[in-house]
Copies of this chain bind each other. A is one copy, B any other.
């Protein structure tokens, strides 16, 4: 059921067929590079590149054989060799080791995957930006430790989602731009079978594939892969934060947000009234699956010049972490695109618990006269009385001589108006929007 927690695009990009295609692209680039460096004959290179077409191969057969071989490159190279004529045969895969091919193929996939994620994150950010602007003045309860705390605007909340998402875009984009180079080292990272031609073949190969070169091979130094995996985990976690907020605000008892309705979405097999927040659920599940894969991808348990075990886990874990991160992003994108905002309910919820979420505001007003210490003591007592007696904080304040002695009824009323206690919310929204617009 992993399709529930991915997107079709990313599933395709990291399919087994796509991996075979990417490995063939590496062999294609290698043949061209070897030919340009005059290591192999041009004719041989032409024959080999012509055989590097994915439709000539059966990925299932290749992966079936991999289980015995221990790597998909051996059956791939064998099959590719069969596809070329006698003269070219000896030049297939020349100078490379299996890991060069599978690593570089995965680099190609990862770079495409990162680009796809950045595009999808931009949609999420756009969605958040729209909400931030539209709901700049929509007052709602801010909540800390799941308790109403003091008022905010829904625009501010969306602006924080925006800033969070924009940071993920930047982070993933920077990784794609800088940190995923060609892998090319031969058997043990010396390119020995190429004699002196190693560096020039490497340079041509990087050029053919549109990849940056690495200073030196990195078969057993997987920190770049680890960093990508970790950044995906962080991005997935970021999506989980947004989805979690929506799910909490969509609770029956809160009712401030709903996911967009859609035929067949979020129903129950038995409860006709149900409209489950399915996108939030799927984003959270996908994020959890992505985050869980991070430690196995950053362990550094990499023996000598090529590892036994830890490296190979990447073949499964990397595609999964890309797929599930994409799932988290994709579901949050849908979530924000269709989000229903119930402004009236936001307003009504401000009055719950007697409007005691304005206690800090009242404290500030009183503190100007009596100092903060005394003000806190007074308002704490009033807030407790309000909750105990089921009256509003305003009623408790008006009836309390401590407050009434220093503030007029009008002043109390003003102090308790949530729309007047939003501080720098607007400034922060502006900053988040400006920063995002500058970035894109």
Interface residue A240 (Cβ < 8 Å from any Cβ of B): yes
Interface of A is mostly: helix
Assuming the contacts A168-B223, A198-B423, A281-B145, asked whether A373 and B298 have C-beta atoms less than 8 A apart, the reply is no
Contacts of A238 in B (CB 8 A): 221, 223, 300
Encode A53-91 as 1/0 by CB contact (under 8 A) with B. 000000000011111111111100100010000000111
CA of A279 to CA of B138 in the docked complex: distance in angstroms?
A: 33
Q: Which of A264-316 contact B (CB under 8 A)?
A: 264-278, 280-285, 287-289, 291-296, 298-310, 312-313, 315-316
Interface residue A239 (Cβ < 8 Å from any Cβ of B): yes
CA of A133 to CA of B269 in the docked complex: distance in angstroms?
A: 31
| Complex contact A237–B299 (CB within 8 A) | yes
What's the least CB distance linking A76 to chain B, in Å?
9
Interface residue A180 (Cβ < 8 Å from any Cβ of B): no
CA of A199 to CA of B431 in the docked complex: distance in angstroms?
A: 11
| Complex contact A4–B67 (CB within 8 A) | yes
Assuming the contacts A245-B304, A360-B187, asked whether A64 and B3 have C-beta atoms less than 8 A apart, the reply is yes
What's the least CB distance linking A187 to chain B, in Å?
5
Contacts of A64 in B (CB 8 A): 3
Interface residues of A, count at CB 8 A: 180
Contacts of A2 in B (CB 8 A): 316
**At the interface with chain B, which of A107-115, A116-124, A227-235, A404-412?**
A227-235
Copies in the complex: 4
Encode A358-379 as 1/0 by CB contact (under 8 A) with B. 0111011001000111111001
| Complex contact B272–A360 (CB within 8 A) | yes
CA of A131 to CA of B104 in the docked complex: distance in angstroms?
A: 29
Assuming the contacts A67-B3, A142-B187, A298-B294, asked whether A269 and B306 have C-beta atoms less than 8 A apart, the reply is no
Assuming the contacts A145-B281, A269-B73, asked whether A4 and B312 have C-beta atoms less than 8 A apart, the reply is yes
| Complex contact B373–A89 (CB within 8 A) | yes
What's the least CB distance linking A301 to chain B, in Å?
7
Contacts of A291 in B (CB 8 A): 295-296, 298-300
CB-contact partner of A423 in B70, B191, B271, under 8 A: B191
Assuming the contacts A230-B294, A300-B237, asked whether A188 and B151 have C-beta atoms less than 8 A apart, the reply is yes
CA of A190 to CA of B159 in the docked complex: distance in angstroms?
A: 12
Assuming the contacts A90-B367, A300-B240, asked whether A189 and B164 have C-beta atoms less than 8 A apart, the reply is no
Q: Which of A189-246 contact B (CB under 8 A)?
A: 189-196, 198-199, 215-224, 226-227, 230-231, 233-241, 243-245
CA of A312 to CA of B258 in the docked complex: distance in angstroms?
A: 20
What's the least CB distance linking A295 to chain B, in Å?
6
| Complex contact A264–B189 (CB within 8 A) | no
| Complex contact A227–B150 (CB within 8 A) | no
| Complex contact B262–A68 (CB within 8 A) | yes
| Complex contact A63–B253 (CB within 8 A) | no
Contacts of A224 in B (CB 8 A): 167
Interface residue A47 (Cβ < 8 Å from any Cβ of B): no
CA of A376 to CA of B198 in the docked complex: distance in angstroms?
A: 21
CA of A419 to CA of B152 in the docked complex: distance in angstroms?
A: 39
| Complex contact B272–A383 (CB within 8 A) | yes
Q: Which 4 A-B pairs have the closest CB atoms?
A: A237-B300, A142-B188, A284-B309, A192-B423
